[in-house]
Amino acid sequence: MWMGSSLSDLRSSPKSAKVIVGQALMYAQGGEKHPSAKPKKGKLREVAEIRADAEGQAFRTLYLAHLGSSVYVLHAFNKKSTRGSEIPKRDMATILVRLRAARDHYENERKR
């Protein structure tokens, strides 16, 4: 399930980044982890980050894969910061809001 603008954000990425993300999401749907997907820590310990470097830029897609059989794509963005693996504050805020929305969606669907 695509949360917020994550699908349109991913569509604006270069083709090579979209291919990597697409493959990684297919792995996640099958219960596996793609080599470009790494688990996050701290507040995002339930989330995996797909790293796709294309055209000299870093593209990141974060997803939640362990809610039932669903994969929730939380956010896709072009990482412009050069500060290691740190997620920019604005993107982190978006991810946390969408993570709560994904959990709520899952709970509502489960109750049906």
- Kindly list the domain boundaries of the chain, sorted by start residue: 6-111
d(CA 72, CA 75): 9
Region 12-31 average pLDDT: 95
Confidence of residue 69 (pLDDT cuts 50, 70, 90): confident
pTM for the full predicted model: 0.91
Q: Is the pLDDT of residue 48 over 80?
A: yes
Confidence of residue 7 (pLDDT cuts 50, 70, 90): very high
d(CA 51, CA 43): 19
CATH class of domain segment(s) 6-111: alpha beta
Q: Is the pLDDT of residue 72 over 90?
A: yes
SS3 content of the chain, % helix, strand, coil (to 5): 40, 30, 30
Confidence of residue 62 (pLDDT cuts 50, 70, 90): very high
Q: Computed from CA positions of residues 99, 103, 108, 109, in that sequence, does the dihedral angle turn out positive or negative?
A: positive
The pLDDT score that the predictor gives to residue 80 is: 80
d(CA 109, CA 73): 17
Pairing state between β 47-54 and 70-79: unpaired
The pLDDT score that the predictor gives to residue 104 is: 94
The pLDDT score that the predictor gives to residue 67 is: 73
